[in-house]
Amino acid sequence: MNFVPSNPITAAGKGWRFIMLLLLLGSQSRFVCGQDASATKTEKPEKADEDAVENPFPNRHPAPELEGGVEWLNTGGPISVKDLRGKIVLVDFWTFCCINCIHVLPDLHALEKKYPNELVVIGVHSAKFDNEKETGNIRKAILRYEIEHPVVNDAEMVIWRKFGVNSWPSLVVLDPEGQYCGYVSGEGNRELLEKVIDRLIAYHKSKGTLDETPVRFDLERSKVQDTPLRFPGKLLVDEAGGRLFISDSNHNRLVVCSLDGQLQHVIGSGMIGRKDGPLNEAQFDHPQGMALVGQKLYVADTENHLIRMVDLEKKQVSTLAGTGEQNRTRTPGGPLMETALNSPWDLTIVEGVLYIAMAGPHQIWAHQLGSNTLGQYAGSGREDIVNGPLERSALAQPSGIVSDGESLYVVDSEGSAVRKISTMAENDLENPKGDVTTLAGTHDLPRGRSLFEFGDVDGTGDDARFQHPLGIALGDSAVFVADSYNHKIKRVDLKTREVTTWIGTGKAGTELNPLQLAEPAGLAIAGGKMYVADTNNHRIVVIDMATKTGREFPIDGLASPRPPTESALAQTAEVVKSNELELQELAAGTKIDFRVDFTFPEGMKLNELLPVSYKLKAEGDQSLVAASELNVKQEATSKGTTASFSIPTVKPAGQATYLLSVTYGYCRDGNGGVCKVGTTHWKIPVRLKENARPKGVNLKVTAK
C-alpha cells in the first residue's frame, strides 16, 4: 500500500516531475519525498526548534487549481484552492459507475466524521461513460450514494489532467497552505490516509496554519423531497404467489406487494445496519438482488457485503453468508459465516444452487443451498471481458444475473456486455467445468480495451453496444437488458444474438408515451408484463409486452421510512468559545434588544442561505424572561454584517445571568462554495432598572 508524495503533474503551466518513493513500512514508517533537480527548488527547512513538529512533506509544491469543471454540486458555488486554505483537503477523483469508487465512499465518510473541522473532501467526477458527463446524472449519483461533500463535474477531464491522474479512484492530499503533498490510488487506503492526515494536523497546528473553523455546504439532498421508493434497485416476481419483491435500496429495505399494487410486507426498518430479527426490526445496507425458493427469500445485502435470508413464514431475517467486512483479496471461498464477500449485486437459483453476481471482485460465486460453504464459480478476478474456461475468463462488475436452467446470463456493467456462462450440477461445484462466452457486446480486445467499447448501437453479437447495463430478465427465446446509461430496455435474441431497442428514447425522462426511463437497474417478467425498476425516477413501471405500453405502478399504503430531515440550511456545528461581559444595565421594558456586529476576513460575508440563529439559556433561577424563550433555537434578522433580535421580558425589573449562543455562516460574496460556520457564546449578566438608559446589548464577533 503506497502513498506517493509526488506525482508527475502539470501545474500552472510548469512541468513537475517527482520520484515516487514513499512505502508504508508499518508503524515505524516515514514519509519520504524526493524530486529531480529540474523540477523546483527544495523548500527551506523550518526554523530549528527542539519542540517543533517536523514537516512530513518538505518537498511539497503548489497544487493545481480546481478550475475547468462544468458545474459544482453539493455546494453554493465554485471552490478554489485558496478558499480551502487552513484545511487539509482530500481530492477524490471518481466516476459513479466504478465499483472501486463506490467502495471508497464509506472511507471518505469515516474520515469526514473523524476530522470534521480539519478535513474537507472535494470530489472530482471525471466520467468514464458519456451518460456520466451529464450534471443531472451526477446529481442523482450524489443522492444515491449519499455524498456529503462538494463535487465538481470534470466532464472534459481538465482537472484530471492538471493533477496527472490516470486511474479511478485516485485520492490526492493537499495541505492547509494549498500545497500538493501526494496521492494514493485504489481502494482500502483509509488507515494510510489517517496516518497522513494525523501528521499534517500535528505539523500545521504547531505552525499555526490549521484553521479548525467548521465549514458547511449546501447539499443536494436539502433540495429534494423523499418519495415512497428511493432509487429502487432490483425486482423479483413470484407469479404463482402473485407477489412483487422490490429492493428499495436507498431506504435500506425490501418491499413486498401484490401484483395489483397492494402493500403486503416491508422488510427492514429503513435504518442502515446488519441486524437480524423480525421483519420490522431487521436492518440492511442498500440491498439489491433477490432470489426466492418457497417462502425463503435470499437477498444480496450489497453494501453490508452479506447474503441475507428472509423466512417469509416466520417473518424473520437472518444472515446466510459473509462477515460484514469487505473482502479485498481474491479469496476462493470457504465457510459461509467466515468468508468475507465483496459487493454481491444480484442472485439467481438453479437446481438448488445459489449463483451470486459478485460485482466487487468481478466474479460469479456459487453456494449449494443447505451446505456450509460458498466460493468462486466463474471469473479470474481480473476486470475485463475475456471469454474462455470458467477459471480463466474475465468479467467486469457483473450486476445482473438470470438463468434458463441450462446457462447463466449476466450483464457485465463495466464492460457493457451480456455474457453466457455454463451451469453445473450440484456435485460439480467444487471443481466446476464450463465456459464463459459473450452473447452481445465487445470482448477479448488487447490491453483491457473491451472496458471502453460502449455506446448505443443495435446490431448482432459483437457489433452491438450497450452503456453500463445493470439489469437482465429472461423472456421467450431472448433476454431483456436494462441498458441503464442509455435509459433503454434492449432485447437480445438467444439464437441469433441480434440486439434491438425494445423500450426507451435514449434520453432520461418520466414520460409514459413514448415511454422514457432514467437509469433503469432491475427487470422482472411474468404474465405478459415486464416490471421495471426505473431507478432514478424512484418508481416502478409496468409494461404490457404485447402492446409495449407502460404505466406507473403505485403501491397502495407505502410511505418513506424516513422522518422529515432537518434542512441542510439548518445544519450547523459549534465551536465553544465563551465571552463573559460586564453587567448590562438596561431600561425596564417589554423586551431586551440584542445587536451583533460581525467582522469577516476580506471577501467574506454572511451566508444568505444560512440564517443567523440564537439560543438563550438561563444560569440559575431567573424571572425576567418567559420559559418559552429559553433553550429554543430561533432566527435573527440579519443584513450585511449585522444581526439583531429581541427577547420579550415578563417583569419590568430584576437581575439574571444568561448564556447566549449565536450561530452564523459566512462565505465568499455571501453565497460562495465554501461556507464556514461559527458559534460564539457569551455569559451576560443583565439588570433591568426603571431609571437606566434605554439601550440594548451590543455584541461583536470577529470571524477567522
Range of the domain at 598: 568-702
pTM for this one? Answer: 0.83
pLDDT attached to residue 692: 77
Q: What grid cell was written down for 117?
A: 473541522
CATH classification of the domain holding 101: 3.40.30.10
pLDDT attached to residue 578: 65
Q: What's the rounded Cα separation, in Å, for the pair 362 and 364?
A: 7
pLDDT attached to residue 639: 84
pLDDT attached to residue 28: 29
Residue 638 counted as domain residue: yes
Domain boundary pick from 155, 182, 212: 212
Q: What's the rounded Cα separation, in Å, for the pair 355 and 368?
A: 9
**Cross-strand bridge partners of residue 544:** 529, 549
Residue 242 counted as domain residue: no
Per-residue pLDDT tens digits for 339-353: 999 999 999 999 999
What's the distance, CA 139 to chain centroid? 11
Domain boundary pick from 212, 244, 271: 212
Kindly give the parts of the chain with pLDDT less than 50: 1, 7-50, 426-427, 565-576
Residue 389 counted as domain residue: no
| Number of domains composing the chain | 2
**Cross-strand bridge partners of residue 687:** 585, 655
By the 8 A CB rule, do 332 and 366 touch? no
Domain boundary pick from 212, 237, 270: 212
Q: What grid cell was written down for 166?
A: 490516470
Residue 143 counted as domain residue: yes
Q: Which distant-in-sequence residues (6+ apart) come within 8 Å of 330 by Cβ?
A: 361, 381
**Cross-strand bridge partners of residue 550:** 543
Q: What grid cell was written down for 304?
A: 453490508
CATH classification of the domain holding 622: 2.60.40
Check residue 104 and report its DSSP letter.
H
pLDDT attached to residue 670: 53
Q: What's the rounded Cα separation, in Å, for the pair 458 and 223?
A: 38
Q: Cα–Cα–Cα angle for 348, 132, 157, nearest 5°?
A: 135
Residue 606 counted as domain residue: yes
Q: Cα–Cα–Cα angle for 509, 512, 518, nearest 5°?
A: 30
Q: What's the rounded Cα separation, in Å, for the pair 73 and 443?
A: 36
Residue 559 counted as domain residue: no
Helix (H, G, I), strand (E, B) or coil at 138: helix
Residue 65 counted as domain residue: yes
3-state secondary structure 278-289: ECCCCCECCCCC
pLDDT attached to residue 365: 97
Q: What's the rounded Cα separation, in Å, for the pair 425 and 352?
A: 9
Segments of 194-278 assigned E as strands:
215-216, 235-238, 243-248, 253-258, 263-267, 277-278
Residue 588 counted as domain residue: yes
